[in-house]
Structure formats: C-alpha cells, structure tokens
C-alpha cells in the first residue's frame, strides 16, 4: 500500500519500534487470554494468579502506550513532512507544470488530499496495534487448538478476500470522487473570483449553480454514498463470514471432532478479544482507502518529495548577479503542451551546457512559420542617442537609488568570462537611422519587410490579426496543436528600451516568461552576457530580472529584503510614485494592499525598483495608470532606467509611446513579425 510505503519512507525505525512494541503488546494480550482461560477453564491452571495478571496487564499497557506514542509522532511527522514537501513542491515545480495543473487542482491537493491523508495516517497507529493483537490472539488459538486455528484463519482470509474484492471497486469510486473534487474546487474558484458577475446576472447564477457547483457537489455526494454503501456490504459480508465460522465451530466442528470444553472456552475468549480490533480495522479501512487515493493523486501531480524536477536544485543561485545584462535569443522556440498532465515530467537535462536547451523538452516543429530572416541575428542598436552602457557593470544611479554594491563586479572574477560585447558591435553604437517620420508601419523593418502595426481597436489596444490563409481567424497558426512561439531572434542590450507589441494572444507574455527565465526554450538558445542559459544556471539568469507581469502578486511583507533602512527606501519610492498618502511601510511590512489596481501596480513597481536588477520587464504595466502617470512612466521612469544602463523590456499596446522605444519587436501569432530599431517620434 502506497500509504505504508510513505510512512516507512518517513521513518522505518519508528515503524519497526512501533511494530515490535505492538507485537509484544499483542503477545501480552494473548497471554492475558490464557490467564483468564486458566481461571475459568474446567482444569484450572497455576498460571492464573494476581501477580502474573497484573504484570501482563502492565506490559500490555506500556507496550500499547509506547506503540501508540511512536506511531502518533510518526503520523504527525508524516503529515508535517507532507505539508512541507507539498508547499515547497509547488514552489519548486516548473511554472509550465503548475500552469498545466491549474489553481483548482493545486488547491484540491493542498486542502483535500492533505486532510484525507492526515486522517488516514492518524488511523494507522490504532490499526497497527489491532493487527498485533489479532496476531497474538490467533497465535494463542494455534496453541490451544490447531484445528480451530486453521478454520478461523481460513475464514478470516476468506472475509479479507471478500472485503478486498469489494474494496477494489470502492477504491475506484473514491478515485473518481477525488477527480470530482477538482471540479468542485474549480467551481468554488469561479464563485470566489466571479462573485460580481454571478451577483449581477440571476440566470447565469442559477445555471452556474445547477450545472457546475451543484452538479459537481451532487456527483461527489453520489460517489461517496455508493462507495460507503458498497463498503457496508463488504463489512456485512466480512461479519457474516465470521459469524458463520463461529457457528461452524460451535455447532458443527465441536460436536464432530469432540473438542474438549477448555478448548471451546479458549476459542470463545479469543473471538471475544478479536471482535474489537477486527471491527476497528473494518471502520478504518475507508479512511485508509481514501488516503491511498489521495497519496496516488499527489504523486500523479508530481509535487511530492520524490518530484524529480525539483527547481530548488537548479544551479546558479550562488553566483554573483550580473550588473549589466546583454540578452540574446537565437532560434528560440516554445510551445504549450496543452492542458494534459505530462506522463513524464519535464526535468532538468542530465548535464549542463548549451545543449541542455535542446533536451529540456520535445522539439516542436515550427510548422507553418517562415524561417527567420538571418538578419535578425544582428546586434540591436541602443539607438536614440543613448550611449551604449558599460557592460562591465557600471550602474547609473537614478530615481534616487543608491548605486548597488554589486556595481563593478567583474564576471571574470566570478568564474565566468566577461562576454566580448564588442565582438559584433554592428551599427548599434551610433544613433540608428530612423525609418522616416511616420509611425513604424510606414517604413520597412530591418529585414526589409514592412512592419505590421496598426491592428488596433478604438481604445488603442491590439486586436487579433488576420490569420494566414487556411487558419481560423481566431486561432493562431500554432493553436491547432497548442500555441507555438518562435523562432525568436533578438538582442537586448543594456541602456536600451525594447517594446514588445502585438495582438492579443500573439505570444508577448510567453516571450516575457522566456526572457525572465520562467520558461526555458524548447529549442534555440537564450544567452546572458554570452553564456547560454540552461537548467544549470537558470537561477542566476532569473536573478538578473525584475519583472512585473500582468497577473502579478503583491506580498504585504518585503520578503527577502533583510538590509537595514528598507523602510526609508520604500517610503521614498512610495513618495516618488505618488502613493505615499495611501500606504506606508513599517518594519518591512506594508500598511495595506487594499488598493486600486493602478495603485497596486505602483506598489509592484516599488518592489521592482528596490531589487535594482539589471533587467526590467514590464508586462502592460501602464495599462491601469491614469494618463498623467502613464506619461511619467514612459517619459521619466523608463528614461531613468535606460540612463542607469538597465536592459528594459516593455510589453505594451500603448502606440502613443512606441516612438520612445530603442527597439520594437512585433509579434503575430507567436511569430516574430518585425524587429525595428529606434523609432521616430510621433
């Protein structure tokens, strides 16, 4: 049973101690029976006296207590370890794995499975003691009458077989019920996240309740009832077998074999002693079955301790962070695998090196995508008159940030050769030639193709673009078999602001996750300062970027900022970002995060600016800002980051500000449509 294996994996020594103690207790119990038997038997035995009885009772109590204490500790330790490993398992699992699982499955496991397992694991101590008592009693039975013992054991095995046969079906029902739990949690998620929409629309609410929430709840109830009833049948069958055996022995075997009275008395005593532990075990079996199902579910989620792709083992965390980031993407592809849970987890490849990137997952065929123009491999231009930054880490203070103490770290010292950024300087160290006075769409891109901008709705946001022939207009070319991004070839330089634009679903956020190291490419290479990124250095790569994603999360505490004076730093940034009147910080804890979306985004920006990393990535950050602060963001904050030599990536639909980019990357259906250097002002 998976449950037992799990307990043994927590502490086999504890199990052995508890079982030994339980067995001694069981033997002592059996000895108690012999003493009782010796008193009431027609042939009294010298064994039966006060002293022996008291001593045996003490042994029974002590061993039972010892076994119970050991197993209770073991059970609680197992539950603690399970919670800890599930919590860190979630954090350690690759993002794409968690996204495939979905929040509802994670919540179901973290709540339901842990609760079920707690019950099952808590049941194990008493079951172990019961088993030991049964073994002891049956041993005594074997001594007083091998015949009765054989019949009793045969009948017990028969009832175990009956229960097991029915339990297989019951286990399957519990497994199905567990899957329904996921659906129920999904419905509860819709209730909590969609409460406004449900309150506003009665028919939607009724339909949702009937078909989703109540539907899942009913299914769950029915499955649990069926399982419970089936198990009651199994219990009844087991009891029937035991009673039939008793009848057979008392009324058939005793007379037929002329069994002596003392043997019969011994048998009756033993069965009396056996009935309690037997019943207890029967009552605990459903808990154990559910626990088994929960444990298997956890294993299937690949979040448990045995998870083979634990990201906590990823390399690069101990390396000094870079102070200037030159990021290059070459032939990068990424495909979503769909909603299916992978049969084989996407684990780190066996050895470090650039080849890792090819081994990290299946290599998707870039079906239907034209090959990239080789010119895309060219080095991008800092452009717009901004001086090329010092790649060796000279940071440029701005926005009131003190120069980081990481400044000036020589990568060579850290054991990594500093990349030769001048090897292919291209025209990037001059002000780029503009494409003319018009919008980006008015001139050709560097690959000679006309950039395809201008697909926007009345609000200026991107709209789905016209799909290539033969493809449904609402689905990207890759979406027939899951979305496909790539090939991506681009260079992001320090002191350069790159805008990533494109229609909804064109792959901008997917690209952002690749650029920030949350996803690894399935083929192609991402490099940081000339070093190819793989599992061996992904943590190092991630530490180069401060990112604010569209679905960012705000922590009330500034976790991980143990430096003194953090409150002053935060309060200064709060004032600069004009939210000091709404929120303040004390002992590294924000006074409130109950703010508007725009204000929350400013708080996220505070956190990002505190990190002072060489790469800044903003995924539609300005979308919720008032026009005035949007201006501040595009004209002041981005300009300041550029001045400080940061590599800035901005995903945006704000075409009013496209001219502020040094480089503009246009995505369409996951394909890099154009790469345009510095844009003319509008």
Report, in Å, the least distance between residue 476 CB and ligand ATP: 6
Q: Which is nearer to ligand ATP, 416 or 455 (CB)?
A: 455
Residues in contact with ligand ATP by CB under 6 A are 99, 336, 476, 479, 483, 502, 504-510
Report, in Å, the least distance between residue 312 CB and ligand ATP: 22
For the sheet containing 647-651, what is the strand order? Answer: 545-548, 615-619, 647-651, 496-502, 663-668, 671-677
Could you tell me if 670 and 522 are in contact, meaning their C-beta atoms sit under 8 angstroms apart? Answer: no
Report, in Å, the least distance between residue 113 CB and ligand ATP: 23
Q: Which is nearer to ligand ATP, 424 or 504 (CB)?
A: 504
Report, in Å, the least distance between residue 653 CB and ligand ATP: 7
Q: Which is nearer to ligand ATP, 122 or 506 (CB)?
A: 506
Q: Which is nearer to ligand ATP, 210 or 504 (CB)?
A: 504
Q: Which is nearer to ligand ATP, 484 or 644 (CB)?
A: 484
User: SS3 of 394, please?
Assistant: coil
Q: Which is nearer to ligand ATP, 476 or 487 (CB)?
A: 476
Q: Spell out the residues 6+ positions from residue 651 whose beta carbon is closer than 8 angstroms to its own.
A: 499, 500, 501, 508, 509, 512, 617, 618, 619, 620
Report, in Å, the least distance between residue 604 CB and ligand ATP: 17
Could you tell me if 554 and 389 are in contact, meaning their C-beta atoms sit under 8 angstroms apart? Answer: no
Could you tell me if 424 and 379 are in contact, meaning their C-beta atoms sit under 8 angstroms apart? Answer: yes
Q: Which is nearer to ligand ATP, 112 or 668 (CB)?
A: 668
Report, in Å, the least distance between residue 99 CB and ligand ATP: 4
Report, in Å, the least distance between residue 564 CB and ligand ATP: 39
CB-CB neighbours of 261 under 10 Å: 11
User: SS3 of 529, please?
Assistant: coil
Q: Spell out the residues 6+ positions from residue 256 whose beta carbon is closer than 8 angstroms to its own.
A: none
**β-sheet bridge partners, residue 595:** none
Q: Which two tokens stand for residue 472?
A: 């449904």
Q: Which is nearer to ligand ATP, 48 or 189 (CB)?
A: 189
Report, in Å, the least distance between residue 182 CB and ligand ATP: 17
User: SS3 of 589, please?
Assistant: strand
- Whole-number Å distance between alpha carbons of 480 and 229: 45
* Sequential DSSP letters for 202-213: HHHHHHHIIIII
Report, in Å, the least distance between residue 308 CB and ligand ATP: 21
Dihedral sign (CA 49, 55, 58, 59): negative
Q: Which is nearer to ligand ATP, 335 or 435 (CB)?
A: 335
Q: Which is nearer to ligand ATP, 149 or 549 (CB)?
A: 549
Q: Spell out the residues 6+ positions from residue 663 whose beta carbon is closer than 8 angstroms to its own.
A: 380, 381, 383, 490, 492, 496, 497, 498, 499, 675, 676, 677, 678
Find out whether the peptide bond into 487 is cis, omega within 30 degrees of 0: yes
- Whole-number Å distance between alpha carbons of 14 and 74: 7
Q: Which is nearer to ligand ATP, 383 or 476 (CB)?
A: 476
Report, in Å, the least distance between residue 119 CB and ligand ATP: 34
Least Cα distance to 535 among 523, 545, 520, 524 occurs for 520
Please state the separation of Cα 280 from the chain's center in Å. 37
Report, in Å, the least distance between residue 664 CB and ligand ATP: 15
- Whole-number Å distance between alpha carbons of 438 and 453: 12
């Amino acid at each position: 049973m998976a449950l037992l294996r799990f307990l043994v994996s927590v502490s086999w020594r504890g199990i052995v101690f508890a079982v030994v103690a339980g067995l001694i207790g069981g033997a002592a119990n059996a000895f108690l029976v012999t003493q009782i038997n010796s008193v009431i038997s027609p042939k009294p035995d010298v064994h039966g006296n006060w002293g022996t009885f008291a001593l045996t009772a003490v042994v029974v109590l002590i061993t039972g207590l010892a076994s119970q204490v050991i197993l209770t500790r073991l059970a609680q330790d197992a539950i603690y370890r399970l919670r800890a490993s599930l919590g860190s398992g979630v954090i350690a699992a690759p993002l794409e794995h968690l996204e495939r699982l979905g929040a509802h499955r994670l919540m179901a496991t973290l709540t339901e499975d842990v609760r079920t397992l707690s019950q099952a694991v808590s049941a194990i101590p008493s079951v172990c003691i019961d088993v030991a008592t049964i073994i002891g009693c049956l041993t005594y039975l074997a001594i007083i009458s091998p015949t009765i013992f054989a019949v009793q054991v045969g009948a017990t095995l028969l009832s175990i077989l009956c229960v097991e046969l029915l339990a297989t079906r019951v286990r399957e029902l519990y497994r199905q019920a567990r899957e329904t739990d996921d659906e129920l949690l999904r419905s509860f998620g819709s209730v909590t996240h969609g409460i406004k929409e449900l309150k506003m629309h009665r028919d939607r609410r009724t339909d949702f309740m009937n078909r989703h929430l109540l539907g899942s709840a009913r299914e769950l109830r029915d499955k649990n009832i069926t399982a419970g009833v089936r198990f009651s049948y199994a219990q009844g069958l087991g009891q029937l077998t035991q009673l039939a055996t008793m009848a057979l022995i008392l009324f058939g075997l005793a007379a037929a074999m002329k069994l002596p009275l003392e043997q019969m008395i011994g048998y009756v005593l033993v069965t009396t002693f056996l009935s309690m532990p037997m019943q207890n075990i029967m009552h605990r079996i459903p808990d154990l079955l559910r626990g088994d199902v929960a444990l298997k579910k956890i294993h299937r989620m690949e979040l448990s301790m045995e998870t083979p792709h634990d990201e906590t083992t990823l390399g690069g965390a101990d390396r000094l962070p870079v102070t200037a980031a030159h990021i290059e993407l070459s032939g990068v592809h990424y495909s979503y695998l769909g909603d299916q849970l992978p049969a084989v987890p996407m684990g780190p490849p066996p050895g470090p090196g650039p080849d890792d990137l090819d081994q990290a997952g299946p290599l998707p065929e870039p079906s239907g995508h034209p090959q990239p123009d080789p010119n895309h491999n060219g080095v991008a231009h800092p452009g717009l008159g901004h001086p090329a930054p010092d790649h060796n880490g000279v940071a440029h203070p701005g926005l009131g940030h003190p120069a980081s103490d990481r400044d000036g770290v020589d990568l060579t010292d850290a054991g990594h050769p500093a990349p030769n950024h001048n090897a292919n300087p291209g025209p990037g160290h001059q002000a780029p030639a503009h494409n003319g006075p018009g919008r980006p769409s008015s001139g050709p891109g560097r690959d000679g193709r006309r950039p395809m901008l201008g697909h926007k709705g009345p609000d200026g946001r991107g709209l789905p673009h016209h799909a290539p022939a033969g493809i449904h207009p609402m689905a990207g070319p890759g979406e027939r078999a899951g979305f496909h991004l790539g090939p991506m070839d681009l260079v992001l330089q320090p002191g350069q602001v790159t805008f990533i634009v494109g229609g909804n679903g064109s792959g901008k956020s997917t690209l952002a996750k690749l650029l920030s190291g949350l996803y690894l490419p399935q083929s192609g290479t991402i490099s940081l300062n000339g070093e190819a990124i793989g599992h061996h250095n992904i943590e190092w790569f991630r530490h180069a970027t401060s990112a604010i994603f569209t679905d960012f999360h705000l922590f009330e505490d500034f976790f991980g900022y143990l430096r003194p004076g953090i409150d002053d730093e935060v309060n200064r940034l709060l004032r600069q970002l004009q939210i000091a009147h709404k929120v303040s910080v004390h002992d590294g804890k924000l006074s409130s995060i109950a703010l508007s979306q725009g204000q929350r985004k400013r708080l996220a920006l505070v956190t990002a600016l505190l990190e002072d990393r060489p790469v800044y990535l903003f995924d539609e950050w300005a979308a919720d800002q008032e026009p005035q602060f949007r201006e501040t963001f595009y004209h002041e904050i981005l300009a300041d980051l550029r001045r400080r030599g940061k590599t800035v990536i901005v995903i945006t639909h704000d075409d009013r500000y496209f001219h502020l980019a040094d480089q503009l990357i246009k995505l369409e259906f996951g394909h890099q449509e154009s790469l345009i250097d510095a844009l003319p002002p509008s």
